Structure 1
Amino acid sequence: MLHTSAESAAERVYAEVKERILTNEIAGGELISEGEIASKCSVSRTPVREAFLRLETEGWMRLYPKRGALVVPIGDREKRDVVDARRLLEGHAVRSVTSRPAAVAELAERLRDNLAAHRRADATDVAEFSRLDAAFHQLIAAAGDNPLLADFYTTLGERHRRMTIASVHRDAGVAARILADHLDLLGAIEAADADRFDHLLAGHLAGVHDLPGEPA
C-alpha cells in the first residue's frame, strides 16, 4: 500500500511539473530544486526525485547534483526537427484526403468546429489556446487514414504545445496569426489543393515558431 502511494505521489509530481514546463510556467533555462517542488506539491523529496529522473530521461530537464534541475530550453534544432516532422506528416495526410471528396468535407467540418471553439476561447488562456491549436493540426494528421503516422504525430503533441505557448508569450500577435493561418489552411483543404496547403503550412510554422533562415 505504501509502495503504491509512493508511486502515485511520483506520478502526480511528474504530471504537475511536466505541465508547468509545457505551459511555460517553469521556463526553459530555469533551475529548480527538489525542495521547491516538494513544497509546492506537498510531498517529500523522494517522489520529486523520481519524477525528476523520469523528466530527465524524456529530455525535459538536466539534473545537476546538489544544484538542482535545469529545464531544457527549446533550441533551434528541436524547433526545426518538430516542424520538419509536422510538415511531412500533415502534407502526406492532406494529399491522401484530397483524393477522397467525402473525407475532405468531413475534415473541413471538424476544422471549422475547432476554429469556432478557438474564437470562443478566452484570449488570455494560453494553455487552452495551445490545446486547440494542437487539436487543429492533429485533426489533419488523423484524416490521412494511416493510424501509424497519426500515432506518431500525436507523440509530437507535447513539444508542439510547448513551442506554441512559448511563441504566444514571445509575441502577442502570434495568436491572431495562428487563427488567420488556420483559416487559410482550411481553405486549401476545401479546395483540395495539396500543393497550396504545403506552401501555407511551411509559412505558418516558420512564422509562428520564428525559425531562423526560414520565410515567415
Structure 2
Amino acid sequence: MYPPYPTDAEEKKRPLNLAERIYQQLKNNIFDFQLLPGDRFSENEIARRMQASRTPVREALYRLERDGFVQVHFRSGWQVRPFDFRHFEDLYDVRTLLEIAAVKRLCGHINIKEQLAGLITLWCCQENQRLNDSALLAEMDEDFHFALLALSGNQEMAAIHRTVCERLRIIRRLDFTQEGRIAATYDEHAHLLNLMLNRQTEDAADFLSRHIEISKNTVRHITLHRIQSAKSRYNINIRTDN
C-alpha cells in the first residue's frame, strides 16, 4: 500500500525545492531507462511514489514537458515521450553548427594558448594519467564542449548550446558505455586542441564535425539496442524514421 497524501500543512514544512527534487528524480529515471519511452503514468502514481502532493508533481511534470522528456494526453495522463531519432538528429545538427562556430572564433583569438590551458591540462595528459570512470568522463566530455562555447565569448551561443546538450543528454551519456570510447575521447579532444593551438581553423572544424558524428552514431546504435531489449518486455512506440 502507498502512504496517504501529505496534508497541505505537512507539505509547507517540506523544502521549497520539492518540485525540483521530483523533477530531477523523474529525469534520472528516464535517463536510466527506468521509465521507458512510451510508458504511461498518472500524477497520482508519481505523487504516491514520491510521497508528495500533486502540486509539486504537476510542476515537475510540466517542466519535463517543456524540456521535451514527457508529454501529456487529455484524459489519459502522462507519457514518456517516444524516441524520435529525427528530433535527435536535428539537435545534433544544431550542436555541430554551434561548436564549429565557437572553434573558429577561438582560433582567431590572440591569446588562444592561455584560453585553452585548462583544457590542455585535462585532455593532453599521459595515458597513465587518464581517468577511466565512465560516468565521470561523460560529465568531463560535456564540460569540454561547454567550455569551447564559453571561451568563444558569445554568451547567447553558449546558452543555446547548453539547452541543446541537455536535451541530448539522455542518449549522449551512453557513449561511454562502449569499450574504447574513453581512450578515443581523450585522443580526439587532444587532437582537436592541438589543431586549434596551431590555428588550423578549417582542419579543426572538420575534425570536430567528425568527432561529433562518431559519437552520434555510437549512441544511436546503443540506444536502439537498449530500447529494443526493453521492447521485448514492454509495448513501446519507437520512431526511428529519418
State the match for 2:167 in structure 1: 159
The alignment partner of 2:213 has SS state of helix
56-65 or 81-90: which moved more?
56-65
CA distance in 2, matches of 1:5, 1:157: 35
Amino-acid identity (%): 28
201-210 or 151-160: which moved more?
151-160
Instruction: Letter of the 1:206 partner, please give it.
Output: E
RMSD: 3.1
- State the 1:42 CA deviation: 2.9
CA distance in 1, matches of 2:43, 2:167: 24
CA distance in 1, matches of 2:122, 2:18: 35
Instruction: Letter of the 1:85 partner, please give it.
Output: V
Task: Summarize the Cα distance change of 1:156–1:54 in structure 2 as closer, same or farther, 3 Å threshold.
Answer: same
State the match for 1:120 in structure 2: 131
State the match for 1:76 in structure 2: 85
2:131–2:137 contact (8 Å) kept in structure 1 = no
Unaligned runs of 5+ in 2: 1-7, 221-242
1:91–1:194 contact (8 Å) kept in structure 2 = no
- State the 1:25 CA deviation: 4.7
Which structure: larger Rg? Answer: 2
CA distance in 1, matches of 2:113, 2:161: 22
CA distance in 1, matches of 2:192, 2:72: 41
1:55 to 2:38 alignment? no
Instruction: Letter of the 1:122 partner, please give it.
Output: D
Deviations 1:146-176 (A, max 9, x none): 222122222223124223113345x444444
CA distance in 2, matches of 1:201, 1:114: 18
The higher relative CO (CA closer than 8 Å, separation ≥ 6) is in 2
1:206 to 2:213 alignment? yes
1:92 to 2:101 alignment? yes
1:184 to 2:195 alignment? no
State the match for 1:193 in structure 2: 200
40-49 or 90-99: which moved more?
40-49
Task: Summarize the Cα distance change of 1:39–1:4 in structure 2 as closer, same or farther, 3 Å threshold.
Answer: closer
Unaligned runs of 5+ in 1: none
CA distance in 2, matches of 1:61, 1:151: 22
- Output the TM-score relative to the length of structure 2: 0.70
CA distance in 2, matches of 1:113, 1:136: 12
State the match for 1:134 in structure 2: 142
